[in-house]
């Protein structure tokens, strides 16, 4: 065997090592960034993954998005609370009232149009004072009804007080957010003019109580109607519309003439998020006009980007048509947060006890 000089051995060795290391070197060059987005589970998760997460990853091959779904915003916040010392989440989409609680604990980092220029395209109501992140979707409380029992969609909330439906009504009572929102609807029906004085609404709800089958339908208010256990209920418009598309003969949505209340989801950057830059890129994508339109076409949450190119059909399914907007009850949810315990207490004492 021919003898090799020490230099030749070193050169060959270095070349071999470099060859073996090449796959890792090239991979390191195009290092993948991973972010975790926490939002709702269920139908929201299914559609958000298809219309936002997957297209985002396709458009940004170097960023992988891990979606974590929670049944409620409170569970979303609770998870982040537990991770405060070392957050694993990067972006959180959750109800603005819950997000405010997280903001007070410095769990989210405030974003401004300077770091997130797409915010300049958002409608003014999407930029809420005191909130760390902008609104990403608008939804509203709507009536759920069974098309089998109604020849045409109920046009008034008063249908829930119709004794013909005794035992066929389900409603999520406060502290559930739907029940909280419905309190203000009932207050308006009863002649209340200021949502901060909701006593008239509570009295009217007490009159409805004997007709209610369940104050906590399981698995949820939508399934209670779809399964045929109830004929009327109250839920969020986007979800009702989506379930209605799946089973049109079993469930449908109505936004009654008396109007409704908005529910706002905000998108928030987690303080000390592991991948802040990638997280901001995702937030910009999620708030962009085209993404917002695509999501709304699939799930009728109203967009917050004013330039979102919506089809007339998609717009009609949301509560942001000019006609409906004029009937919406104007509520400051951050103000409501201050007395929501009192509302729950009033329900316990004056509504639930009458059923």
Partner 1 sequence: MNTVSVNENPFGRKLVLACLLPILLVNIVAFMVPVLNLAAMSFRAASSTGSLEEGITVSTWLGLFGDGYYWSMVGRTVWFGILITIITLLLSYPLALFVSRREGSLKAFLVVVCISPLLISAVVRTYGWMVILGDQGVLPSLIRASGFTPPRLINNETGVIIGMVEILMPYMILSLLSGFGKLDATLEQAAGTLGARPFTVFRRVVLPLSLPGILLGCLLCFVLAVSSFITPKMLAGGRVSLLATEIYDQAIVTLNWPLAACLSVLILVVFGAALVLYGRLSKIVE
List contacts with partner 1 (CB under 8 A): 72, 74-75, 77-78, 81, 97-98, 100-105, 167, 173, 175-176, 213-218, 228-229, 334, 337-341, 344-345, 348, 352, 355
Q: How far is the CB of 221 from partner 1 (least distance, A)?
A: 12
User: Is 63 or 98 the residue whose CB approaches partner 1 more closely?
Assistant: 98
User: Is 58 or 163 the residue whose CB approaches partner 1 more closely?
Assistant: 163
User: Is 157 or 347 the residue whose CB approaches partner 1 more closely?
Assistant: 347
Alpha-carbon distances, residue 164 vs 13, 185, 211 (angstroms): 88, 21, 9
User: Is 16 or 210 the residue whose CB approaches partner 1 more closely?
Assistant: 210
Q: How far is the CB of 167 from partner 1 (least distance, A)?
A: 7
Q: How far is the CB of 310 from partner 1 (least distance, A)?
A: 32
Q: How far is the CB of 348 from partner 1 (least distance, A)?
A: 7
User: Is 32 or 341 the residue whose CB approaches partner 1 more closely?
Assistant: 341
Q: How far is the CB of 82 from partner 1 (least distance, A)?
A: 10
Dihedral, CA atoms, 254, 258, 259, 261, nearest 10 degrees? -100
User: Is 56 or 108 the residue whose CB approaches partner 1 more closely?
Assistant: 108
User: Residue holding tokens 């066929």?
Assistant: 168
Tell me the C-alpha distance between 213 and 168, whole Å: 6
Q: How far is the CB of 176 from partner 1 (least distance, A)?
A: 7
User: Is 321 or 355 the residue whose CB approaches partner 1 more closely?
Assistant: 355
Q: How far is the CB of 246 from partner 1 (least distance, A)?
A: 21
Q: How far is the CB of 173 from partner 1 (least distance, A)?
A: 5
User: Is 52 or 173 the residue whose CB approaches partner 1 more closely?
Assistant: 173
Q: List the Cα angle 272/35/290 in 5-degree steps.
A: 115
């Amino acid at each position: 065997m021919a003898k090799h000089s020490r230099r030749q051995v070193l050169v060959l060795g270095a070349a071999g090592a470099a060859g073996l290391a090449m796959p890792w070197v090239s991979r390191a060059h195009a290092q993948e960034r991973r972010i975790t987005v926490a939002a709702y589970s269920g139908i929201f998760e299914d559609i958000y993954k298809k219309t936002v997460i997957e297209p985002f990853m396709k458009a940004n091959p170097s960023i992988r998005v891990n979606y974590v779904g929670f049944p409620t915003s409170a569970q979303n916040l609770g998870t982040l609370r537990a991770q405060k010392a070392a957050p694993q989440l990067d972006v959180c989409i959750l109800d603005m009232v819950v997000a405010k609680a997280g903001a007070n604990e410095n769990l989210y980092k405030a974003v401004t149009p300077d770091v997130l220029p797409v915010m300049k395209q958002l409608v003014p109501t999407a930029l809420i004072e005191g909130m760390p992140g902008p609104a990403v979707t608008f939804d509203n409380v709507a009536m759920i009804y069974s098309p089998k029992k109604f020849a045409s969609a109920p046009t008034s909330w008063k249908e829930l007080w119709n004794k013909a439906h005794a035992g066929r009504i389900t409603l999520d009572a406060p502290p559930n957010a739907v029940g909280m929102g419905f309190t203000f609807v009932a207050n308006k029906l009863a002649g209340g003019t200021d949502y901060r004085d909701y006593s008239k609404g509570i009295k009217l709800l007490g009159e409805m109580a004997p007709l209610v089958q369940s104050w906590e339908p399981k698995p949820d208010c939508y399934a209670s109607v779809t399964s045929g256990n109830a004929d009327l209920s109250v839920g969020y418009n986007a979800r009702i519309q989506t379930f209605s598309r799946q089973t049109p003969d079993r469930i449908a949505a109505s936004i009654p003439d008396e109007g409704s209340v908005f529910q706002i989801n905000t998108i928030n950057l987690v303080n000390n998020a592991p991948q802040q830059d990638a997280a901001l890129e995702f937030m910009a994508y999620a708030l962009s006009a085209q993404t917002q339109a695509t999501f709304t076409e699939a799930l009728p949450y109203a967009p917050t980007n004013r330039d979102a190119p919506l089809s007339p059909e998609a717009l009609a399914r949301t509560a942001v048509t000019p006609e409906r907007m004029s009937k919406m009850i104007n509520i400051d949810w951050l103000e409501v947060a201050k007395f929501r315990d009192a509302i729950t207490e009033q329900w316990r004492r004056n509504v639930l006890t009458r059923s």
